[in-house]
A and B are shown apart, each in its own frame.
Chain A
């Protein structure tokens, strides 16, 4: 398909001091900071696509949702708000580490040329959208974010290898010593030796099947197939909160975000079919999505984004932002449907499920230094367990991981690679090439994801979760029967493996937590109440020595920012008078 010479089965070996897997927002910043900290070291970014436009923020971001800027919000306020939004299950030191460094990260990005909205006198133009704190910093010119990050990487001397997808981490004596993968254009097997690895692979964004049935019409960048979740799992790292799914509000069918944080400051509303605002929850959370879901079941559904009460000047500005940054094609979607913000409302829906700590809370467990439970392995961004950390959290943790990884590399020397691991992975990766007439990857993927929808989409039930597990077990045979005759399809085959792993993790974690929490994200019909006595814990998931998926409870660390009882029962527990029109 390309002019690239095929190097099927050949081995490419690379060496790095710090290996960053994933060159999105988290990975790019991690790489820059790692190289700045250790200019003499080899800092290598392994990117499955091309860093210029890779990752969730391929076309930039139209705003920061969780900027903590002095004068507008405090870290303590923020930590409280996240703790409440996540029903108390947070590792506060991890959230605080982000909160305290959030502003410095913004200032550094600003110095690199990332464009934030500013007032007429050059201050950050922070907007209040949330009820408590003021955290929204618009970025109407955020479309060149990746161009800027890529430029800085080049200028500081970061090495970038594009079009290589990592498939498994390499370990020795309980530490991570590198990775293995596939060159997605020439088919070579790639081995990377590294003293430290920072995983920045993004969300499990290709887990649920979108309502449209189009495999790539996902909320997240579909390239983010849960690679990092799966690789960390197989390396023996602990994951956390996998039962806390990501379910987002989006534009129906288009499947992109409705961008209430952008339209909110202009006065846009999320309303029901009668045109009235109905969301009681003050924070974008599982509780908010539960209310959204409930509204859809009533005669007041569907839900809409309403802009037709705004002035022409405001609508023009919204169009300029939303049709230029993050998901610019939404303008042509609306045009195709004959929808104009001035005289119609944008129909919204709830997304397929995914795993993402950017918007929700599931990920590879990390502490406030970005360390996973496996020495030598760090994680940042949507795949690391810091709840609701979004774009700025991804970048800040990229920085935190880099700081710690560059210290760690001085404490270890090069390890000998494990030939058994390499041989096993080579066999696994190239198996589809031995049976080119095997099952097409897209059919196998479609089927797994359809079962995810059937059995994992909340409301969850025990019976359906168990049925899911049977299908995900069967899927091993299908994955082994996939055929591929070119590197691109081989990449997709390996992604199907990641997807299956994430599906099984999501099902088992959901079964294990026998309570409901986080609103819609983990709503179990057969355990409908929150059970703080037994379940006020993090649920950790890990691959044990025999290769089985096991669970443990990790106590919630004592709060450094205490909440009083009222704050724990805030927003959704508030007894609101019900309007005359309601059910």
Chain B
């Protein structure tokens, strides 16, 4: 098989300065399992372009560190 990697603009942005290291509430609540912890920074990020722009990650974050934008293809 011939395969390549490509880049995608993803809807969810995490402000690392506010994100609580060790917390993973946003990752817990995401219905799409689209968020993950970046092992280098220990902070959350959107790992996949699989977003329903539903906003629990933003609403349930205790530190207001998450912002959900409308996915690029829909904006």
Residues of A within 8 A of B (CB): 1-3, 49-50, 52-55, 58-59, 143, 162-163, 184-185, 212-218, 221-223, 253-255, 327-329, 332-333, 336-337, 437-440, 483, 488, 491-492
- Whether B65 is near chain A, meaning CB under 8 Å from some CB there, is no
CB distance from A32 to the nearest CB of B (A): 20
Whether B36 pairs with A1 at a CB distance below 8 angstroms is yes
* B70 touches which of A218, A336, A437 (Cβ 8 Å): A336
Q: What separation, in Å, do the CA atoms of A428 and B41 have in the docked complex?
A: 36
Known: A53-B56, A58-B56, A254-B70. 13 other contacts (CB 8 A): A3-B37, A3-B39, A52-B56, A53-B30, A59-B55, A212-B74, A216-B51, A222-B32, A223-B31, A254-B74, A328-B55, A328-B59, A488-B33
- The number of chain B residues touching the other chain, given as a range, is 20 to 34
Would A49 and B37 be within 8 Å (CB), given that A59-B59, A214-B74, A333-B75 are in contact? no
Whether B75 pairs with A59 at a CB distance below 8 angstroms is no
Interface centre among B30, B50, B54, B75 (most CB of A within 10 A): B54
Whether A49 pairs with B74 at a CB distance below 8 angstroms is no
Q: What separation, in Å, do the CA atoms of A56 and B73 have in the docked complex?
A: 22
Q: What separation, in Å, do the CA atoms of A438 and B1 have in the docked complex?
A: 7
Residues of B within 8 A of A (CB): 1, 3, 27-33, 36-37, 39, 47-48, 50-56, 59-60, 68-71, 73-75
Q: Give the nearest-CB partner of A256 in chain B.
A: B53
> Please, which residues of chain B bring their CB within 8 A of the CB of A488?
33, 48
Whether A217 pairs with B73 at a CB distance below 8 angstroms is yes
14 A-B pairs (CB sep. < 8 Å): A54-B31, A59-B55, A162-B28, A212-B73, A216-B52, A217-B71, A221-B54, A223-B31, A223-B32, A223-B52, A327-B54, A329-B54, A332-B69, A333-B70
Q: What separation, in Å, do the CA atoms of A436 and B54 have in the docked complex?
A: 31
Whether B74 pairs with A255 at a CB distance below 8 angstroms is yes
> Please, which residues of chain B bring their CB within 8 A of the CB of A213?
73
Number of inter-chain CB pairs below 8 Å: 99
CB distance from A487 to the nearest CB of B (A): 9
Whether A50 pairs with B54 at a CB distance below 8 angstroms is no
> Please, which residues of chain B bring their CB within 8 A of the CB of A440?
3
Whether B55 pairs with A49 at a CB distance below 8 angstroms is no
Whether A214 pairs with B55 at a CB distance below 8 angstroms is no
CB distance from A5 to the nearest CB of B (A): 13
CB distance from B19 to the nearest CB of A (A): 15
Interface centre among B53, B60, B73 (most CB of A within 10 A): B53
CB distance from A478 to the nearest CB of B (A): 12
* B56 touches which of A59, A253, A483 (Cβ 8 Å): A59
> Please, which residues of chain A bring their CB within 8 A of the CB of B48?
488
Whether A329 pairs with B55 at a CB distance below 8 angstroms is yes
CB distance from A186 to the nearest CB of B (A): 12
CB distance from A31 to the nearest CB of B (A): 18
> Please, which residues of chain A bring their CB within 8 A of the CB of B37?
2-3
Whether B54 pairs with A59 at a CB distance below 8 angstroms is yes
Q: Give the nearest-CB partner of A324 in chain B.
A: B59
> Please, which residues of chain B bring their CB within 8 A of the CB of A163?
33
> Please, which residues of chain B bring their CB within 8 A of the CB of A55?
31
Whether B52 pairs with A491 at a CB distance below 8 angstroms is no
* B75 touches which of A54, A216, A336 (Cβ 8 Å): A336
Q: What separation, in Å, do the CA atoms of A163 and B74 have in the docked complex?
A: 28
CB distance from A49 to the nearest CB of B (A): 4
Q: What separation, in Å, do the CA atoms of A328 and B48 have in the docked complex?
A: 21
Whether B32 pairs with A216 at a CB distance below 8 angstroms is yes
Q: What separation, in Å, do the CA atoms of A186 and B47 have in the docked complex?
A: 16
> Please, which residues of chain B bring their CB within 8 A of the CB of A332?
68-70
Q: What separation, in Å, do the CA atoms of A212 and B1 have in the docked complex?
A: 28
Whether B28 pairs with A52 at a CB distance below 8 angstroms is yes
Whether B74 pairs with A2 at a CB distance below 8 angstroms is no
Q: Give the nearest-CB partner of A489 in chain B.
A: B48
Would A184 and B56 be within 8 Å (CB), given that A214-B71, A216-B50, A336-B75 are in contact? no
Pairs A-B, 8 closest by C-beta atoms:
A53-B56, A53-B29, A49-B31, A1-B36, A214-B73, A329-B53, A212-B73, A223-B31
